Every structure is written in structure tokens, then in C-alpha cells.
Amino acid sequence: MTSFTSHSADLAEHTAFPWLADGLAYGGDYSPEQWPEAVWAEDVALMQRAGVNLVNLGVFSWGLVEVADGEFDWGWLDRIMDLLHDGGIGVNLATPTAAPPTWLLQAHPEIATVDAEGRRTAQGGRLAWSPSSATFRRYALRMVRALAERYGDHPALRMWHVSNELGNENGRCYGEETAVAWREWLTAKYGEVAAMNDAWGSAFWGHRYTSFAQVELPRHNRTQHNPGLLLDFERFTSDALLGHYLAERAVLREVTPAIPVTTNFMVQANPGVADYARWAEEVDLVANDHYTIGADPHREADLAFCADRSRGMAGGRPWLLIEHSTAAVNWQPVNRAKAPGEMARNTLAHIARGADGAMFFQWRQSTAGSEQFHSAMVPHAGADSQVYRDVVALGATLRALAPVVGSRVERAQVAMLLDHDAAAAWASGPKPSSLVTAVDLPRAVHRALTELGIAVDVLRPGDALDGYRALVVPTLFLATDATADAVRDFAASGGHVLVTYLSGIVDETNRVRAGGYPGAFCDLLGVRVDEFFPLFAGDTVALDDGSTGSLWSERVEVSDGTEVLARLAEGDLAGTPAVTRRATGAGSATYLATRLDHPGLVALVRAFAAYTGVTAVATVDGPGMEVVRRVHDDGRSFLFAINHAASDRTVAANGRDLTDGTATEGRLVVPAGAVRVIEEDPR
């Protein structure tokens, strides 16, 4: 059986676990507790027909297992675990801590989070608890231990799914118990209050603290809090949530050391409350949730970006798409169903980008409860429905793709740096433009690269950069000295760097690097900016190479030896450099000083690739086609071609279609909306 290797920091040596399924994992969140037991046998039969081999079970079931304080009713969970096992379906068993039982919230209302205005979360939802609540922790760990002792040896158990989307509805707590934990966190970080004052620049507005006890949480205030404090509060929040995960994991490791542990990430949240690239060091398998935004015309580009981020967090190892949707969600303003073929394209795009399984929220569509209109694998209409037929067809496709399990996405020639701290720093306190978001440009550059068939590995500052030909540093607002050094060394050793506006502006304390922007990268780039000129919504600025910028411009001066590739052609800054390049020995450092539109970014990336020698994964004949290659250590390789366009596309390929065995020589036509996976002839 295939195995996967945990890279979790608590395991002294990398540890191998059996892969979760026979082939790619396929299934969804399963909440049998919503249904009479008579439905369960039909569920298992429908799962088998669809090729489901794994479910996330028990995610929100605490109140139905621990029915009163210390009183457990395991009956229904015993029966469904056995039924699933008998049906050949494995279980990611969730610790049910995402939804505290009513009796617990009634007995201990103080476990609930408090928002910045001081309002305590009421019962009636989920994830109401504060990760800093000692009482909650005590109850949660008792539940986790009882669950692990009960099912640790159950043959259906494949993995522990800790809680659910930690921080989704319980991030950023502002309660008193959290304030105590916050001060402890600050004391541990700074040791001396003077160091904290220095880091935050608390002399401004005379905020000087004389003890850690004086520091409050950044609660509602009519003016703005200190950006250094805000950034630390984001780090504290991420650590507090991770601390809860680690506490649950410690119990699970103790009781069931051979069972892998994970928790589902939401890497799409930008910036969210969790520093997932850091959390990834603590999970045995990176597992991500991704939901397309129906109103986003480029939702497949967001999906590709998030999938590449998940792979980066997994260190290039296989990861698991643990939730996505078959059709509509229920939390967007208008919940659009997916177009014919869209679900399969979504699923297979995640697989292409390194997921070794794909799961949905949820198996059977609820008829009651607050997610009653969220799609599922078996919709309200039942098995006689297009969605279920598509789910069955997708299951068959995934079975045919079993040979890709354990392969890795071919190492990209281009790396991109993305960082939670940098995004959190940009979001902290007033900034030159509220129209600029930390992830806008990274995602846009990723989309331009994808359109050209160029693969990119999305990394975190500090990850090894050897072996990459090019590095993109897009709006990386915060750069530590170590990051600045790493980027400079990369360029000095022959790498090609593309840095954009709003990179390297502040250091790790969120203090501006004085002396000209982009402080951390001025010398490398041979540019210096003395003032920002952000643009109003809807305004654009023409460049003299025919491209168009929006959102951002700035007064750029170049040093001797820096070549100007394009200038602003209009407005107050007409004639100012907008794209520059400086040679760094065998490498180069390019600077982009405005937010180019999509055609402009494609043109920039195309020129950058030509200059640096970066090549495409495979040659495609038009936009809308994603091409990704996965490779095994033994050299077997698979080319995924996903055609999002409304017309046919072709890609250069030689090999055999994994789903139907058809041979391809030289040129593969992928019909509009279709996906092809080719096991390639030896290259």
C-alpha cells in the first residue's frame, strides 16, 4: 500500500503512514446523525456506487456523543463506524470540538469568544469557544481522550481530523481570559517591556507601557490601534488557535501514536487568522478546504493559486483537498450552482496540483439546520439527480487516476513568496490605500503565469530557494532582514527576481524601513521611491509600452546601471519609471511599480520568462487551459490538461489517456470544458 510521510515537527524522524485510501481519496463530510438510521444503509450503498472510500465523520457531533457532562452515548457512532468499515469506507474521525454542546455553553458561558465590541458569542452556532479558555480546553481534551480510547483501534479509522476550520468562527477573541494569555505571550516574546515599547514604537501618542499588565487587547476604539501591536495580536491569535490544535494532538499521539493527525486549513482566507505555513509543520498531512466564489469570473485561477499554496505548505508532498462543494454553497450573497463539468474541473485541478484526494462538504444535503441549502454529493433531489450522477462519474475518473497517488507536482522553475505576517502587517492600521489587498497581486501574477503554462511553487520566506531559476516577490509588505538577504543572495547567485511595489516596506516589527521604498530591496533593484501615489478606484494610468496600471503608482528613481523597461505615460508622474531591471552578475532584479491589468501582467511575465529562460510545462494554444505535470520518483509522469475555455484547446503531449487508454501523439485536443490526464511516454 502507498504510504505518505509526515513532516510534523513533533516526530523525531519522518514517519510513514499508510495512505488513507486505495487510490485517490474520495468522499465527503458525513453527518449520519442528521438522519434516521434507516437511511444509513442507503448512504453506504450510494457511496459504494460513487467510489467513495473515505468520509470525515463526527465533525460537529459532540452534543450527540457526550450527551451530558461526562455522560457518553457511543451507540450510534459505534454502529456507523462498523457499517462504514463493512462497506469498505475509511474514516477521518473528527474530534467534535468545533461545536460545543448546549449543556457546556449553558454551564460555562465564559468559554465563548468575545468580539472587539465586548459582545460574547451566544449559543446556537458553532466554534463559539475561545482557544484561551482553560475550561473549554479541559472539556475538549476529555472528549478527545474518550474518543481516541474508544476508536483508536477501530479498523475504519484512517486519520484524526482535529476540530474544524480552527479560527473560522472563533478567531480573534477579545475576552478577559484571552487578555491574560495575550500578556503571557507578549512577556514570553519580549522578556522586557522596554523591548516591546521599542518594537511597537509606543512613544507615538505617548503609549509607553511600564509593565505587560498594562497592555490591553486591541478592542473597539474610535481611533486606530498601533500597527506593531496589531501585528503581534494576529501572531498571538494564530498561536493560540495552533495551541489548541497541539493540545488535542498531544492527547491523540499519546493514545494512538500510529494514527496520523490533521486539521482542515482555509488557505483561501487572506489574511486569515492562521499562519498556515507555520501550522503545516504540525500536521501529518496538509488538508485544505476550498470554495469557489460564484461571482468571481476567474474562480479557477483562485483555485489554482490556493492549491499551489497548499502544496507549498506541504513542502511539495501530496496533500488532501478535504472540503470543496459539488455545487452551490449557502454563504455567498447569491449561491450559484456549478456549470456542467465545473465540479469535475475543480476537483481535477486540485488533484493536478498535488492533492491525493478530494472530498466535499458534505455527503447528503441537510434538510434542516443552518446549512440546509448548501450543496452535497447527494442533493435534496436524491440519487436521481444530475449532481449525484456527476459524483458517480467523477468517482470513476478518480479511480482511473489511481496511478498518480504518491507522485509530486514537477518542481517549478519559478518560486513565489507569500507570507501570513506580511499580509497581516498590510491589514494592520491605516495604509496609503485601502483598495490594495495583500493577495491581489500575488494571485494576479499566479494567474498570468498559469495562463502561459508556467508552473510556480508558492513558498514561505525562509524556504530553500536553490534550484529555482526565478523568484517573484509580489507586494510582500513585510520583509525581515533574513528575507531581504535570501532574495539578494538568490539574485547574486544567478537567479532572476521580480519584486513589486509594496514589498519590503516594513520590518518584522511592522516598522517602516526608512531611507526610501522598497526599503529591504532598494539596493538589489537599484531603485528608490520617495513617495507613493495610489490611484482612486476606477482610475488608470497608461504606460509607454502600451500596458495599463491601476491602484498604485509611485515616484521611482533609478540608480546608474538600472535599465528602465517602461515608464508612466500620463498623469502627475508621466515619465517616471514603472518597470525596471538591473543585472546582478548572471542574475537580474526586475521591479514593477504599478498594478498592471491582466494583459499587462501576461505581457510582463512573458517577457520576464523569455529573458530568464523560464519555460512552460507544455505548449498550449490559447488562454483558459491549465497544464500541470505530476511525476513519480521512478520517472513516470502525468500531464493534466484542464480546459476552462469555451472552445477547444490543444496541448503538446505524447502518451496514453489514463481514463480510457487512448493514445496521443504530438498534439492533444482538449474539448471546451474537458479535462484530460495523460500518462506520458518517457520524456
Q: Which residues are identified as catalytic? A: 165, 323
Smallest separation, CB 458 to ligand GLA (Å): 21
Closest CA to 378 of 35, 2, 66: 35
Nearest residue (CB) to ligand GLA, 216 versus 371: 371
Burial class (CB in 10 A: 0-12, 13-18, 19+), 400: middle
Smallest separation, CB 359 to ligand GLA (Å): 11
- C-alpha separations of 236 from 174, 318, 349, 621 in Å: 12, 29, 34, 48
Q: What are 359's three cell numbers? A: 472530498
CA distance 625 to 641: 7
CA distance 616 to 639: 12
Q: What are 346's three cell numbers? A: 475543480
CA distance 336 to 126: 25
Contacts of 272 (CB under 8 A, 6+ apart): 167, 171, 266, 420
Question: Residue 100, preceding bond cis, omega within 30 degrees?
Answer: no
Nearest residue (CB) to ligand GLA, 239 versus 289: 289
Nearest residue (CB) to ligand GLA, 378 versus 573: 378
Nearest residue (CB) to ligand GLA, 164 versus 483: 164
C-alpha radius of gyration, the chain, whole number: 26
Left, alpha or beta for 494 (phi > 0: left; psi -120 to 50: alpha)?
Answer: left
DSSP E strands, 339-489:
355-360, 408-409, 414-417, 456-459, 470-473
The counts of H helices and E strands in the chain are 17, 33
Smallest separation, CB 164 to ligand GLA (Å): 5
Judge contact between 338 and 316, C-beta under 8 A: no
Judge contact between 53 and 90, C-beta under 8 A: yes
Nearest residue (CB) to ligand GLA, 268 versus 483: 268
Q: Given the rule CB under 6 A, which residues bind ligand GLA?
A: 164-165, 289, 291, 323, 329, 361, 371, 374
Smallest separation, CB 375 to ligand GLA (Å): 9
- C-alpha separations of 104 from 109, 137, 573 in Å: 8, 12, 61
Judge contact between 48 and 85, C-beta under 8 A: no
Smallest separation, CB 98 to ligand GLA (Å): 8
Smallest separation, CB 322 to ligand GLA (Å): 9
Which segments of 16-97 does DSSP mark as H helices, in order? 38-50, 62-65, 75-86
DSSP state of 269: S
Residue with cell string 516589527: 509
Smallest separation, CB 36 to ligand GLA (Å): 22
Phi, psi of 591 (to 5 degrees): -125, 135
Smallest separation, CB 289 to ligand GLA (Å): 4
Nearest residue (CB) to ligand GLA, 310 versus 483: 310
Nearest residue (CB) to ligand GLA, 387 versus 491: 387
Spacing of C-alpha 366 from chain mean position? 27
H or E element, residue 601: helix 598-612
Smallest separation, CB 327 to ligand GLA (Å): 11
Closest CA to 118 of 173, 167, 161: 173
Q: Which residue type, as a one-letter code, is found at position 560?
A: D
Determine the Cα angle at 644 with ends 319 and 658, to 5°.
60
Nearest residue (CB) to ligand GLA, 343 versus 506: 343
Nearest residue (CB) to ligand GLA, 125 versus 403: 125
CA distance 505 to 485: 15
